[in-house]
Amino acid sequence: MAENTLRDKVAVIGGGAKNLGGLLSRTFAESGAKVVVHHHSSENDAQETVKAIQDAGGQAVAVQGDLTKVADVRRLFDTAVDTYGGVDIAVNTTGMVLRKPILETTEEEYDLMFGINAKAGYFFIQEAGRRLNDHGKIISIGTSLLAAFTDGYSTYAGGKAPLEHFTRAAAKEFADRYISVNTVAPGPMDTPFFYPQETPERAEFHASQAMGNQLTHIEDIVPVITFLATEGWWFTGQTLFPNGGYTTR
């Protein structure tokens, strides 16, 4: 059986420069993984994350790319293979939030949201399935809104919803290579992505729905992803909802 630790593993982190992805990149590196830090437009954050990893004695490289473009997804994994000789773990933390009524949503906004949240997620899983070593791990970041009955998030939650089926299908198709595929669906996270979409009153309401009247913190999600990438390898085809009771199903 393969060793289920991060030591000497190669991890590709989509959106790995800052916030959840940045903490995940640094945490994986601290546990001995070699990390490919993807970013789209966060060059400074990506370089800071790579430098922090290298200063701590780890190995990391930054790669810029637009994951809605299949060529950029492939180049991301090419870089991992060319730099470190292979890929063992692929985590896609990328996404885009929009809170807007259906009647006000434009075609351009719909295409943008589904491009980032669904298309990029699909081809990230596809390329990971092609390039990962046997016993690999693929993890996508969804949203707990998949289990909520709410307004305003039709294109965000709708764009993330396909990840669940992509995950189930890939888990079956990659099972003969012992590659596990899962989605982690956090509650509303206390990051800069959340607040521009909400009024202070609605942000307070979201927080009130979880234990301790708080939003989800990235520090609470990284251990879940780390578990799935290591000892939790027997989970596959699943969507996990770490959200402090914000919603469930």
Quote the CA–CA distance of 130 and 176 in Å, as a whole number: 13
Look up residue 17 and give its DSSP letter. S
């933390």: which residue's tokens? 93
Quote the CA–CA distance of 176 and 195 in Å, as a whole number: 42
Marked catalytic residue, from 84, 122, 153, 156: 156
CA-nearest of 83, 77, 173 to 132 is: 77
156 is catalytic: yes
Quote the CA–CA distance of 118 and 211 in Å, as a whole number: 30
Partners of 59 in the β-ladder: 34
> Sign of torsion, CA 98 126 75 89?
positive
Active site positions, annotated:
156
